[in-house]
Each structure stands twice: as C-alpha cells, then as structure tokens.
Amino acid sequence: GIVTLAAATFLFTVHPEKPQTLQESGTLREQLEGLRSIFLSRALWKIAPFTVLTQATQLAVLGLWAKPWLRDVAGLEPEVAANILFWMMVSMTTGFLTLGVVAERITSTGWVSPMTLGVGLMTVFVAVQLPIVLEWTAMPLLLLVLYSFFSSSGILPFSALPQQFPKHLAGRVITLLNVMVFSGAFAIQWGIGMIIDLWPTTTSGNYSPLGYQAAFGVLLLLQGLGLAWYLLSARILPQNES
C-alpha cells in the first residue's frame, strides 16, 4: 500500500542500486553464502532489534490498532477518527519522502553518521509513544501526527546498513530486514490483541483502555530494550564476523 510505495521511493532516492548482471549475482551457492554472511554479521544484529521493533510497531499500530485506540481510549466518533487516520498517513508519507533528503544533507557534513542519525530519530519516535501509553488524549491529532512522522525514521537504517556490506549484498540486506519487519508486525498485531483481551470489555462493548495501556506499554519497553541493545552491543557481540 502507501507505506510500501513511500518506502520504495525513499530507498531508490537515497540508495539506488545498479541492476546486477547474471555474472554479478553469482551461483546459488554464492548467493546462499552471501545470505549467511549477512545473517551472521555483527553489523546486522547491532541495529536489527531496534529497527525491527520500531518499524513493526508502526505497521501494527497504523495497520490495525490506531482506529480502535481512537474509539476506545480517546473516545472519538468514527468520522473524527477517520480524519485523524488520514492525517497520520499523510504525516508518515511526508516523513518517508523528506527524512532521506534531510539525512543525506546532514550526514554529508561528516558531523554524524547516517546510522547514528537514524537511531536518534527513532529514539524520538519511542519518546513520542510515552504520552500514548499514559493516555494523554487532549490533542490526539497532534500526538498521532508526530507519532506517524517520526515512525518513518525507522527507514533510515535501510539505507545506512547496506553501506556496511559489499555492494552486491545490499539488496539482500534490505530484503532480510524487510522480512524481519513484516514478520514482526504480524506478531505484534497478534500480541496487542492478546494483551487487550486480558481485560473485560466495557459496558459499551469496547475494549478496555487499561488493555491498550498495557499492550502499548509492553511495546514501549521492548523498543527501549532494542535501543539499549544497540548502545551496548559493542561490548556484547563478538568482534569477528563469520
């Protein structure tokens, strides 16, 4: 949908790849060996948990749980909720299409690396989720527009990470991250529902706000752990890559 289109546009703009010839793509054995080297790479596992958790959370919430949250927690009418969802999509798409250009200009100065900038913006995305967990619903449009815009920052590692691998592996790096993100999104969608179902529905038949608070709180904690892993992984992961 619109998320995939925006992400593809961003990746093509920031990290275009030359089409590989048959000779460059290598034999099946060489391709499998390339995947193995990526999967065992220290560079991948340093950033993958944080990236996957933030992007999977974004997809799970925007794809399924944002509208029920607006109804059950913020108490909004369907028409108002639909309007907010529209602006969330606009904000997210704007983020996908602009953050790459901004990131390229900032990182070209040498002041900060692309990965560090991406992690910094993803940390802002995590911070924006705290008011959602605390159910500050006085300004839901502003809160969720900020949420959607900064959620798109998780695409930056999709450009930065392939630069740490040989060029012929860049596409496979992105593919592996995509598989992890979309698999995580399905798992998180299911997990949110499981947690919310632990609370009885309200008298009006809606899900309990406490269920949302618990589910989103767990996601916030997991993303915080992903950030901590990124910051501490230099001391944990082995220096030598297979």
Confidence band of 125 (pLDDT split at 50, 70, 90): very high
What does the domain layout of the chain look like in residue ranges?
A: 48-236
pLDDT in tens, 143-181: 999 999 999 998 899 989 998 899 989 888 998 999 999
As given in the structure block, the two tokens for residue 212 are 């949302």
Give the pLDDT mean for 95-99. Answer: 89
Tracing tokens 């995590």 back to the chain, one arrives at: 126
Q: Which residue has the tokens 């028409």?
A: 79
Q: In this predicted structure, what is the pLDDT of residue 240?
A: 52
Output the pLDDT for position 11. 53
| pLDDT tens digits, one per residue of 178-226 | 999 999 999 999 999 999 999 999 999 999 999 999 999 999 999 999 9
pLDDT at 108: 84
Phi, psi of 165 (to 5 degrees): -125, 160
Q: Please write the tens of the pLDDT for every residue from 31-45.
A: 778 788 888 888 899
Q: Which of 82-86, 105-109, 139-143, 199-203 has the lowest mean pLDDT?
A: 105-109
Which CATH superfamily hosts domain 48-236? MFS general substrate transporter like domains (1.20.1250.20)
Q: Which pLDDT does position 8 carry in this prediction? A: 54
For residue 110, with 0-12 CB atoms within 10 Å meaning exposed, 13-18 middle and 19 or more buried, which class applies? exposed
